[in-house]
Amino acid sequence: MAGIYKSPLVKVDYFGRVVSSDKGSEDFKHLLDKHITTIINFDDTEEDAEYGDNIILPRHYFIFVGTKDGELQYKPYEFNKYRIVVSTYKDIIISVDSIG
């Protein structure tokens, strides 16, 4: 059924701040098995350009590689509800770990 409303996920972090996210890892399953260079940020698009099979992320969202070829990467401590944390192997996305 189209148009089903999903309420945002609301959590409280260690400092007592309310953290809500309107998207989850399930919303970005279409990124699996895609090469990381074929994914384009919304801000990098042009109105009259043709992108073919490339994927354009929603506005403000960006990809952060949390695990690259089995090695953990540095992740900032601050929460960002638009950060998509992924694991890659040879620059191909193998899992969407979290949002934020």
- What does R_g of the chain's alpha carbons equal in angstroms? 15
Structural domain containing residue 64: 23-99
Residue 11 in any domain: the answer is: no
Q: Provide the whole-model pTM.
A: 0.73
Residue 56 in any domain: the answer is: yes
CB 48 within 8 A of CB 33: no
Residue 57 in any domain: the answer is: yes
Residue 9 in any domain: the answer is: no
Q: Where are the beta strands (DSSP E) in 1-100?
A: 9-12, 18-21, 39-40, 55-56, 62-68, 71-72, 83-89, 92-99
Compute the CA torsion angle 61, 64, 66, 69 (nearest 10 deg).
130
Residue 13 in any domain: the answer is: no
Taking residues 9-32, report their average pLDDT: 78
pLDDT tens digits for 29-81?
A: 888 999 998 888 888 887 777 778 788 888 888 999 989 998 988 877 787 88
How many domains does the chain fold into? 1
Q: Is 52 helix (H, G, I), strand (E, B) or coil?
A: coil
Residue 45 in any domain: the answer is: yes
Q: Is 44 helix (H, G, I), strand (E, B) or coil?
A: helix
Residue 62 in any domain: the answer is: yes
Residue 3 in any domain: the answer is: no
